[in-house]
Amino acid sequence: MKLAVVMSASLALVTGCAQILGLEDTKFDFKDAAADAPDICDTPAIECTASTGRSVCGRLFVAGTGEPFKVAEPTGQLCSTTEGPCGLTVFGQSAATYFAGTSDDRVTGQVDDCGHYSIADLDATVADIAVGMSGSTVVATGRLLLDRPTTSGTDLDVEALVVPIASPPAWADQLGIAPTSVETGYLVKYLTSTGSPVPMEEVRISGAAVGGPKLAPWAAYFTGPFDVLDPTIMATTTAGAAFISPPLGTFRIGGFQVGKTCGRDGFQLVSNTLIYVVMKDC
């Protein structure tokens, strides 16, 4: 009987503590463990391999949100619909032919419904390539991958931007200019050597400072990662992102901050296309 009394008292004590802590109605739900489950989009459906050249693989992200461009209910499989990333044509070619408007060396890539892409066996002897994207819901966009190794192999995790068709008109409205003024240009991210965005970076074009929207060349700066263009900002924010409307011909894109400059030559415009480029070690 003493044992029964002790057990009864112990249970009462536990119950009392639970009531004090507000836990009397708490139940473990196996759904709670789902937060720790792997995301179906963590692993690309396309293996990045190379056999006769150099392959480039990565993921598509939405300009303005920074979120992966994927279907509403991804399966982690190769595209079989035209929703989201599955409605895009993704390709790769040398930067030289991309700027020239030719497609003799163009290689069409594969995309999965999570927005991963893979372009196999591009010319391994070409150091500068362009990854191009087009579709009915996005602006024609290119991603430049510069100074890659000129050997066979793979370039992994190459981030590419997709720009919704509603974004350029919104940017133009924010700057108080015509929409046609932002249909062609460069989306530039300035990064440190370790990959962190650089704030307070001023755009330089062919070595010269540029002002706000007017006759090209001009530059404007985003408040976040390619979201809102603020005409009152005169340098990059913590996002390190800028829109550049360069001149015709070949030009240099550079950056300036107190005590340091960076830059690279050989850029050109592609009509009605926004080109994304990462300027590292700025």
Which tens digits make up the pLDDT trace of 193-221? Answer: 999 999 999 999 999 999 999 899 999 99
The domain boundary, picked from 133, 148, 164, lies at 164
- Are residues 202 and 236 both part of a single domain? yes
Nearest Cα residue to 24 out of 35, 11, 7, 37: 11
Question: Residue 167 has what pLDDT?
Answer: 97
> Residue 270 and residue 101: Cα distance in Å, rounded?
8
Which residues, in sequence order, are CB contacts of 3 under 8 Å at separation 6+? none
List C-alpha distances in Å: 79 to 66, 87, 110, 116, 185: 21, 9, 8, 10, 30
- pLDDT classification of 23: cutoffs 50, 70, 90: very low
Which CATH number do you get for residue 123?
Answer: 2.60.40.1120
**Mean pLDDT across the stretch 262-276?**
97
* Cα R_g (the chain), whole angstroms: 25
Does 7 reside within a domain?
Answer: no
- Are residues 112 and 130 both part of a single domain? yes
- pLDDT classification of 36: cutoffs 50, 70, 90: low
The domain boundary, picked from 137, 164, 191, lies at 164
Give 107's strand partners: 92
3 state SS for the chain: CHHHHHHHHHHHHHHHHHHHHCCCCCCCCHHHHHHHCCCCCCCCCCCCCCCCCEEEEEEEEECCCCCECCCCCCCCCECCCCCHHHHCEEEEEEHHHHHHCCCCCCEECEEECCCEEEEEEECCCCCCEEEEEEECCEEEEEEEECCCCCCCEEECCCCEEEEECCHHHHHHHHHCCCHHHHCCEEEEEEECCCCCECCCCEEEECCEECCCCCCCCEEEEECCCCCCEECCCCCCCCCCEEEEECCCCCEEEEEEECCEEEEEEEECCCCCCEEEEEECCC
Percent above pLDDT 70 for the chain: 87
- Are residues 138 and 220 both part of a single domain? no
- Are residues 121 and 183 both part of a single domain? no
Does 256 reside within a domain?
Answer: yes
Does 49 reside within a domain?
Answer: no
Does 15 reside within a domain?
Answer: no
List C-alpha distances in Å: 90 to 39, 85, 166: 24, 9, 20
Is 5's pLDDT higher than 60? Answer: no
- Are residues 133 and 175 both part of a single domain? no
The domain containing residue 188 runs over which residues? 167-279
Dihedral of CA 9/10/11/12: which sign? positive
Question: Residue 35 has what pLDDT?
Answer: 53
- Are residues 202 and 115 both part of a single domain? no
Does 21 reside within a domain?
Answer: no
- pLDDT classification of 38: cutoffs 50, 70, 90: confident
Buried b or exposed e, range 210-247, using 16+ CB within 10 angstroms: bebbeebbbbbbbeebbbebeeeeebbbebbbbbbbbe
Question: Residue 37 has what pLDDT?
Answer: 66
Does 28 reside within a domain?
Answer: no
Does 201 reside within a domain?
Answer: yes
* Dihedral class, residue 53 (left if φ above 0, else alpha if ψ from -120 to 50, else beta): beta
Residues 209-255 pLDDT 10s = 999 998 999 999 999 999 999 999 999 999 999 999 999 999 999 99
Is 179's pLDDT higher than 90? Answer: yes
Question: Residue 2 has what pLDDT?
Answer: 43
Q: How many domains does the chain have?
A: 2
> Residue 49 and residue 266: Cα distance in Å, rounded?
29
Residues 83-128 pLDDT 10s = 999 999 999 999 999 999 999 999 999 999 999 999 999 999 999 9
- Are residues 272 and 183 both part of a single domain? yes
Question: Residue 111 has what pLDDT?
Answer: 98
- Are residues 274 and 186 both part of a single domain? yes
- Are residues 181 and 260 both part of a single domain? yes
For 34, list phi and psi in degrees, rounded to 5.
-65, -25
Question: Residue 214 has what pLDDT?
Answer: 86
**Mean pLDDT across the stretch 46-74?**
97
Is 8's pLDDT higher than 70? Answer: no
The domain boundary, picked from 164, 190, 214, lies at 164
- Are residues 146 and 59 both part of a single domain? yes
Query: What does pTM read for this prediction?
Result: 0.85
Is 16's pLDDT higher than 70? Answer: no
Does 38 reside within a domain?
Answer: no
Which CATH number do you get for residue 251?
Answer: 2.60.40.10
- Are residues 177 and 135 both part of a single domain? no
- Are residues 69 and 141 both part of a single domain? yes
Give the least confident one: 17-21, 115-119, 181-185.
17-21
